[in-house]
Amino acid sequence: MKLWGGRFEKSTDKSVDDFNSSIRFDSRMYKQDILGSIAHAKMLGKCEIISQKDSDLIQITLKEILKEIENGQVEFEIDAEDIHMNIEKILISKIGDVGKRLHTGRSRNDQVALDFRMYLKDEVSKIKKMLISLEKTLIDISEKNLDVILPGYTHLQRAQPITFAHHMMAYFQMFKRDLGRLDDCYKRINVMPLGSGALASTTYPIDRPMVANDLGFDEISENSLDGVSDRDFAIELASCLSIIMMHLSRFSEELIMWSSHEFGFVEMDDAYSTGSSIMPQKKNPDVAELVRGKTGRVYGSLISLLTVMKSLPLAYNKDMQEDKESIFDGIDTVKLCMPVFTNMIATMKIKKENMYKAAQGGFTNATDVADYLVKKGIPFRNAHEIIGKMVLYCIGNNKAIDELTMEEFKSFSDLIEEDVYREISLETCVSGRNITGGPAKESVMASIQSAKEYLRQKH
């Protein structure tokens, strides 16, 4: 008989048991469920809601059950519906009526909400560690490539010369924001809902702050209806995960392009590439492509959660059982992608000569020629027009700007002197942008130092 079966005259249909059960996916929360129950039992004893003897026995037995589960000695039952009922059923089988006292002063609704929050707290901490590992890898790559010049792009057209280190540190900033979002999201996950009951709290004199303190929660939910029906924290986490995957996908897209023959900027290590079943010359960036593809899967988790919750009245509804598979899959996907992506970029070969050669083409120093004229006293808009005509001339004569003779330069402006060649070299174009946030070596080194300090202080 089910633990809630007193009101029913017949058993549920077998197909309904299978349909209603969530044990196949919520069993992963067994540890959180047991730790939450131990804290609840401890509080019940302290508040004299149950005897201290019963409280102690429940706590000891729950710890034994935890060890048995971790040793693979427990097989969960579908007809017990979920992890919460499974563990309670095992507890009762071991200590009889004493085990039945555990559920005093709580509902499965607030129990589920508690376990869910505890589980997500643990997972956020794990993902943050993965992000920090990726951030450290980006710093390492940047420090090794401070002088490597490549073209920066807008509209996927060569724009201005930058350094590879500067480019990598742009991704550091993205993942830094992801860490900040997870920190912020964690605050809203870290609210203890136990004590909300099914929806209207409880008449027992429970000590909610005691349980919150034992379980490491910073706050207690202030409304029992909201305590059992809130899933904003899961939606917010799904949003954070989606943004992380968006950043990984953008990065992957560049790596996929850069590893092509057309770019030839990087080459993936053999350990992070695959071949073709028919074309023996192929070396495919499949890891980056899969990360890009799995991004859509995480987005789907976010949309699923939003859709499940969009029309639910207060308080708890069975629809909310659908929250876990979505966020669990999003978490699993991010945790699958992060380590392999980090190792992939740590081992990739950077083709510095190809990057530099690409920066020499596409007139990436055109803005610097315009700036050169501005420093000679010409208004920027006039200088822009002059250099536009110069670029058109170069295209027609198949020349780069720095390949023009002084006579050709003079045909566009008498103010141009021999020093123009030095002023528009790629090295000068980069080093001249020595402001906070710029690509000059000194600026990037300062950015790297700031990044290291951030990781030391915050994480």
Active centre residues (catalytic): 155, 276
Alpha-carbon distance of 140 to 301, in angstroms, equals: 33
Question: In whole angstroms, how far apart are CA 301 and each of 120, 190, 326?
Answer: 15, 21, 5
Tell me the three state secondary structure of residue 154.
Answer: strand
Question: In whole angstroms, how far apart are CA 438 and each of 137, 375, 430?
Answer: 21, 20, 8
Which residues, including other chains, have CB under 8 Å from residue 347's CB and lie 6 or more apart?
268, 269, 271, 272
Alpha-carbon distance of 77 to 22, in angstroms, equals: 10
Alpha-carbon distance of 230 to 120, in angstroms, equals: 14
| Euclidean distance between the first and the last CA atom of the chain, given in angstroms as a whole number | 49
Alpha-carbon distance of 288 to 343, in angstroms, equals: 11
